Amino acid sequence: MKELLKVKKLSTFNQTNINLKNMDFILNKGEIHALVGERGTGKNVFVDVLSGFYKDDMTGDVYFKEELVNNKLTTRKPSSIMFLLSESLLADSLTVAENIYTMRDQKNIFKYIRKSKIVNSTKEAFKEMNVFVDPKRLVRNLDNEEKKLVELAKIYMYNPKVLVMYEPTIQMSPPTRSYFYEFLKKMKERGTSIIYATSLWEEAIRTADRISVLYNGSVVGTMDADEAKKEPEELLNMVSGWHKNPNSDQERKIDMGEGSYIKTSEEIINEELLDAIFKAAEYLTSNYEIKDVLKMLEKTSCKIMRSDGCNVYLINETPKKIMDIVKYNNRKDIEAELTDEAVLKIMDEDKLYYKNYNDKNFSFMFNRLKNAKTIICYPVLIRSQYTALIQVYYKEYYQQSPEQLKYLSAISKQVAIAIDNTRLMGRSALLKESHHRIKNNLQTIVSIINLQKSNFKRNPEKGINVLIDDIVSRVKSIAAVHDLLSKNEGGGSIINLKTLIEAIINFYTLEKESKIKAYLDDIFIPYNLATSIALVINELINNCVKHAFDDNYNNAIIKIVCCIVNDNVSINIEDNGKGLPRNFSYKKANNLGLFLVHTLIENEFHGTFEIFGVDGTTANILIPKENLSISKG
């Protein structure tokens, strides 16, 4: 292949960044060449050099079509080289069409802007590329996804000889990512050569022809993507900076028939880690549950880190809250579960976290602490967002080795892949589940109607309007679940109970002087349990609205509290209305709504339900937290 762009012995000198060290890199004509490296290995510095953003001292040469260009590379026409970075390069103050055409003829830019034909021309190009963004809109009014699509369209229209990309898929939604992969395929078919700088080696294997690995500022190896697919362990070794230690004092003798082979402890750990990685990949290509992958990776973490236990805290991005904890424990006499505040604080510090029993306030960091004297935590990064925390803990004082931290970093990447894969699969898997769940929900509605019909025959005095209102109310509570899922940008099958209750509250409009007060914690539950919870909440609020105040809503107050209390989800709904008759029992009362609540809480969630009150009514629900865990979904 003919060399199109060549970087020779490139070194940079900056006190604040990782520096490149005699870096060599070749981009051949018509290829996608991925530059893979973990965060902080120098990928951004390399791209800054090519894009002209790097202003500090540097040595080395950059050749384009065998011509020495060095700092002049970015002065070339867009038909020569263009850039797609993690942050948008569009001008916010210009329209979409103006952004597209500013590069056409910069001397006569205002002449082009005055002509309406650039709008029509952009529309035609966008139509060909299936980009549905109005060319007249100001870029500042676009969301990140739309900006990315406009940038892709712009690159496609100019069809450069070289395209340099830096972490282009960060914060991309699954549909935009699919569009991006098609875009890469088309650009390559049109003859564009692409440099793809990324920390995601899986994406490199998927999209590239060749892969070079950057570690600590140096290219440590280059291999064909097909070779990496067949033997990914070699790529992983380079990405993680692993090297064999022939002087290790721990060895294992392996029988090999005619002879024997001595394996160092590091080689043994490498094999165990690779086994775990390949097993995780196996899980990801089959029907798996996220907790199964995490449990397996936690077990591997305990082996490699020689720890007594491991926790993975799953974190919601907006709002930033702990969704669930997956635990693995080697022994029953030790426990170390961090508080939510401690987890989020560690995540914000954005680095490896070590603490032991001698440190101040150690014991105040935990919800549960039993016989643990050391913890080591490592944040999990997914597309620039911290969405999980790995924590290993020890019964005795322990200090990790540098090699162990490399291994923990590798495991964190597998955790990230598992979580991200769950999100990517979320939309399609959720669609299938939705069809099944909608069918079940329709059957639930039919069953409720039949129950109400039977109840109506026994109590015809309630009237047909009441019957219809009850049916509509229950259908709306189920619809609220599907509405929330349709707005879920992450594509997953998890619902925030707080958001669900707020949606149900919005169904009810009381008089001006009346209020529904809600005190709700963020509690994350799986989609397949949300419908039943929605029915329960709706029934209890509906009871208050219909029966507590006799249509006199002056100073009426309904208070809803939902929080975690001693490993239980506590839901409390109370009003200041007329209350219940003395010796009232919902089990004996002829009330279909309370019957549904009792049945769902006790049979489906194995919780408890009680309702009481003379001056006002109070309904209490307690559900074991583990029965609503997202790991159950």
Question: For 176-189, what is each residue's pLDDT tens digit?
Answer: 887 888 899 999 99
Residue 485 has pLDDT above 70, yes or no: no
Give residue 440's pLDDT.
Answer: 52
The tally of CA atoms less than 13 A away on the side-chain side of residue 501 is 26
Give residue 253's pLDDT.
Answer: 36
Q: Among 300-309, 376-385, 509-518, which range has the highest average pLDDT?
A: 300-309
Tell me which DSSP letter residue 512 carries.
T
Q: What's the CA gap between 573 and 620, in Å, rounded? A: 7
Report helix angle 265-284 to 232-240, nearest 10: 120
Contact of 115 with 133, CB cutoff 8 Å: no
Average pLDDT, the chain: 77
Q: What's the CA gap between 345 and 426, in Å, rounded? A: 28
Spatial CA neighbour of 217 closest among 12, 456, 457: 12
Give residue 75's pLDDT.
Answer: 53
Contact of 598 with 570, CB cutoff 8 Å: no
Residue 46 has pLDDT above 80, yes or no: yes
Residue bearing the bigger pLDDT, 363 or 236: 363
Question: Which of 150-159, 185-194, 464-473 has the least mean pLDDT?
Answer: 464-473
In 3-state terms, what secondary structure has residue 177? Answer: helix
For tokens 């008759």, the residue is 581
Residue 317 has pLDDT above 50, yes or no: yes
Residue 511 has pLDDT above 60, yes or no: no
Residue 243 has pLDDT above 50, yes or no: no
Reduced DSSP (H G I as helix, E B as strand, rest coil) percent helix, strand, coil of the chain, to 5: 45, 25, 30
Confidence of residue 393 (pLDDT cuts 50, 70, 90): very high
- Alpha-carbon separation of residue 558 from 6, 81, 508, 544, 615 (angstroms): 70, 63, 11, 7, 13
Confidence of residue 450 (pLDDT cuts 50, 70, 90): low
Question: How much of the chain exceeds pLDDT 90, in percent?
Answer: 18
When pLDDT is averaged across residues 609-628 and rounded to a whole number, the result is 89
Handedness of CA 517, 522, 528, 529 (dihedral sign): negative
- Rounded-to-10 torsion of CA 561, 564, 568, 574: -10
Give residue 415's pLDDT.
Answer: 77
